[in-house]
Structure 1
């Protein structure tokens, strides 16, 4: 079952048991917006974020 997400065809996200969730969590002092797409089959969750680690670190150091 954990390999299930890796084997999905293009229409795989619409299969039973696959859940897609969007959110935009906000930390207390975060400067960047954080839209997130999460895909799960119940045992493995993959989250996609629009920013690289380098961009996040640079934004947090902008005022230091």
Structure 2
């Protein structure tokens, strides 16, 4: 989990990623890949979905399911 951030990375919370303000939809555990856990995010309208991995970037997906699967 992101521990040094002043933002709350919990489901339902708004967070800033770069210049975007997004809503946390889910925390996605990524055991075995030696990377930080990922977060499934959406815009406020729920029309765009993203997967965010700390220190590795933000990727846009067509659906929440795809964002959670990566």
Fold shared by both chains (TM-score > 0.5): no
TM-score normalised per structure 2: 0.30
Higher percent of residues as strand: 2
TM-score normalised per structure 1: 0.32
> Looking at CA atoms only, which structure, 1 or 2, has the larger radius of gyration?
1
Higher percent of residues as helix: 1
* Larger relative contact order, structure 1 or 2 (CA cutoff 8 Å, min sep 6): 1
